[in-house]
Amino acid sequence: MLSSEDALLNELLQLLNKQNNVSVDELLPQVFAGAAWVARADGCFFFQITPENYMNLAYGRIESLQLSVHDSAEARLFPSVFLPDVKNKPRRRPQEVCALLKKQLNFADVFSEPEIETDFLRDFDAAHGYTSSSLLAFPLFDSRQKVIGVMMFVNAKDLRGRSIAFKDERVAMITAVCQIAVNALERKYQTESYAALLESFIDILAKAIDAKSPYTGQHCQKVPVITRLLATAAIEEKQGPLRNFDMSDGDLYALHIASWLHDCGKITTPEYIIDKATKLETIYNRIHEIRNRFEILRRDAHIVYLQKRLQNVDTQENLQAEFVAKVKQLEDDYAFVAQCNMGEKPLSEDDVLRLDKISQVQFMRYFNRMLGLSWAERENIDAQELLEQPAYENLLQNRPDQIFGVYNRGELYNLNIVRGTINKEEREKVNEHIKITIDMLKALPFPKELSKVVEYAGCHHERVDGQGYPNGLTGEQMSVPAKIMAIADVFEALTASDRPYKEPKKLSEVLSIMRQMKLSGHIDPDLYDVFIRRKIYQEFADNYLKPEQIDEINPEDYL
């Protein structure tokens, strides 16, 4: 038959095994109360030692006074102590001796020990009309034999309630009970350490992605803000389609992690594609090369005009008019090419035909084009001898040496981009980031409670009408948190004021676009309505948008 101490120990061990449902803060008081009962002690104190070597009172209880010392005014008698500071003190408190010397103390009368500093106990006794006498203290060790705390008991009681010394034969049982607290704390420390490591890794990776480009700003850091606001609002819905939606703490944390890592695949996307503000931009805007060719043609036209004047080919007025018309044509053509390069408006069929016509205009190249090239560039050119001699070249060019792997940097090819600034191959590379994100996240050994990180992060470019990527999922195939991520990503991108390919938009413009996205099947209509009704856009705007972007919004206009 089990003794009462064994029964208590079994009960506490069972409680420890249920830590998934019981927090450490709930568990420790029960353990300490059990330890005090086994010790027959009236008072029990636990001093926790932090990784930084500070000793803090974490728990204190005097049963006869019905007094909890922790988090009360009494805690002033037990201030935080930096252990290295007390090493050379002539007299140290019992808990300090235990921690520094890693030894057990057992005094029948603590006040009779000259080497022990007991002023704090005298002050405590005076304040409460209490009498401290016997004291037991011992260090608690983790699995690496590092001291993580000190247990201190005061006033052992006999069966009649009289103060007696602590019995040595009970110390082993007391220590076994307290070891349960050690195990719980060690688990807590490990969990917190791993969580801190994961958070730091995520933070560093997100900042590295944003830092790749001076224009992506803090996208990976702002999307989590919007995600959290919308998820909270959706959970709080009491009516409508989302009234039964809820998320556990684990799912919310998974969504938080996913929102930070949703673009981690962009670490492989070339910066010039992410930052591509114009169609001809790679590392720099190549419109300047084309402008120089127009400059050459203008000079050539001026030279021809002067030569005709010298040869009296025609009257000065006719030659002057011919030259002015030629310059005007060049200026108009260059302005058109420059406007096409911006990508602000879609190209029409007539625009494409005009670009092709302009590309056929030729100029004379006199210098050897092979000079100053790297070996890799030279390897990309077949008939090198043709580029070493003067020759006529087209004003806008698509050359074999402008193709690098899958990337086509042909001038005419890129100027012919119908919408935006990114060509087909570059668009595929941008879209590839989400596949790489999914592969990267799948490679991480997420614990069970974070198993949905991949799903949440991998769906932020899916559309509820099934036209998104990478998997073309429909709204029915996507979870609510995944659809929250999609809205957060869209809203941050539309409101961003640091993108080179678009000017900052006012809040009203952004919401008008998002309303159209709702109607066209791009984003989830139910979540969008919550986004508008709960004014999540306004809360984000007040903290993150420039003042000039924020205008007056009537929510009803955007539902």
Instruction: Go through 240-261 and write b for each residue having 16 or more CB atoms within 10 A of its CB, e for each that does not.
Output: eebeebebeeebbbbbbbbbbb
Q: Which residues touch 301 (CB under 8 Å, ≥6 apart)? A: 323, 326, 327, 330
pLDDT exceeds 60 at position 7:
no
0.85 exceeded by the pTM?
A: no
Confidence of residue 92 (pLDDT cuts 50, 70, 90): very high
Q: Compute CA distances 294 → 282, 356, 388, 396, whole Å.
A: 21, 16, 22, 10
pLDDT, average across residues 35-40:
84
- Look at residue 93 in the predicted model and tell me its pLDDT: 93
The C-alpha atoms of residue 529 and residue 239 are separated, in whole angstroms, by 12
- Look at residue 106 in the predicted model and tell me its pLDDT: 93
pLDDT exceeds 80 at position 502:
no
Say which residue, 452 or 190, is predicted with more confidence.
Answer: 452
Burial class of residue 151 (count of CB atoms within 10 Å of its CB; 0-12, 13-18, 19+): buried
pLDDT exceeds 70 at position 46:
yes
For 246-258, write each residue's pLDDT tens digit. 999 889 989 998 8
Q: Which residues touch 248 (CB under 8 Å, ≥6 apart)? A: none
pLDDT exceeds 80 at position 5:
no
Angle at 173 between CA 168 and CA 176, to 5 degrees: 130
pLDDT, average across residues 112-124:
91
Amino acid found at 379: E
Q: Which residues touch 15 (CB under 8 Å, ≥6 apart)? A: 22, 27, 30, 31
Domains in the chain, ordered, with CATH?
4-191 (3.30.450.40), 212-274+426-558 (1.10.3210.10), 287-421 (no CATH)
- Look at residue 1 in the predicted model and tell me its pLDDT: 34
Nearest residue to 208 (alpha-carbon basis) of 195, 193, 196, 219: 219
Cis peptide leading into residue 504 (ω within 30°)? no
Say which residue, 230 or 189, is predicted with more confidence.
Answer: 230
Confidence of residue 144 (pLDDT cuts 50, 70, 90): confident
What does the DSSP 8-state code read for residue 65? Answer: T
pLDDT exceeds 60 at position 364:
yes
Percent of the chain predicted with pLDDT > 90: 37
pLDDT exceeds 90 at position 94:
yes
Confidence of residue 272 (pLDDT cuts 50, 70, 90): confident
For 517-551, write each residue's pLDDT tens digit. 999 999 999 999 999 999 999 999 999 888 999 89
Reported as half-sphere exposure (CB side, CA atoms, 13 A), residue 220 has a value of: 25
Mean pLDDT of all residues belonging to the chain: 85
The C-alpha atoms of residue 191 and residue 33 are separated, in whole angstroms, by 25
pLDDT, average across residues 95-112:
92
For 202-240, write each residue's pLDDT tens digit. 777 777 766 666 555 577 788 999 999 999 999 999 988
pLDDT exceeds 60 at position 112:
yes
Handedness of CA 206, 208, 212, 218 (dihedral sign): positive
- Look at residue 4 in the predicted model and tell me its pLDDT: 55
Residues counted in the chain: 559
Backbone angles phi, psi at 43, to 5 degrees: -125, 145
Instruction: Give CB contacts under 8 A, 24+ apart, made by 12-15.
Output: 12/177, 12/180, 13/180
CB 161 within 8 A of CB 150: no
Confidence of residue 11 (pLDDT cuts 50, 70, 90): low
The C-alpha atoms of residue 400 and residue 66 are separated, in whole angstroms, by 88
CB 422 within 8 A of CB 384: no
Helical pair 480-495 and 536-544, crossing angle rounded to 10 deg: 40
Confidence of residue 2 (pLDDT cuts 50, 70, 90): very low
The C-alpha atoms of residue 433 and residue 266 are separated, in whole angstroms, by 5
- Look at residue 526 in the predicted model and tell me its pLDDT: 94
- Look at residue 371 in the predicted model and tell me its pLDDT: 80
Q: What is the DSSP string of 348-389?
A: PHHHHHHHHHHHT-EEEE-S-TTTT--HHHHHT-S-GGGGTS
Say which residue, 39 or 358, is predicted with more confidence.
Answer: 358
Confidence of residue 6 (pLDDT cuts 50, 70, 90): low
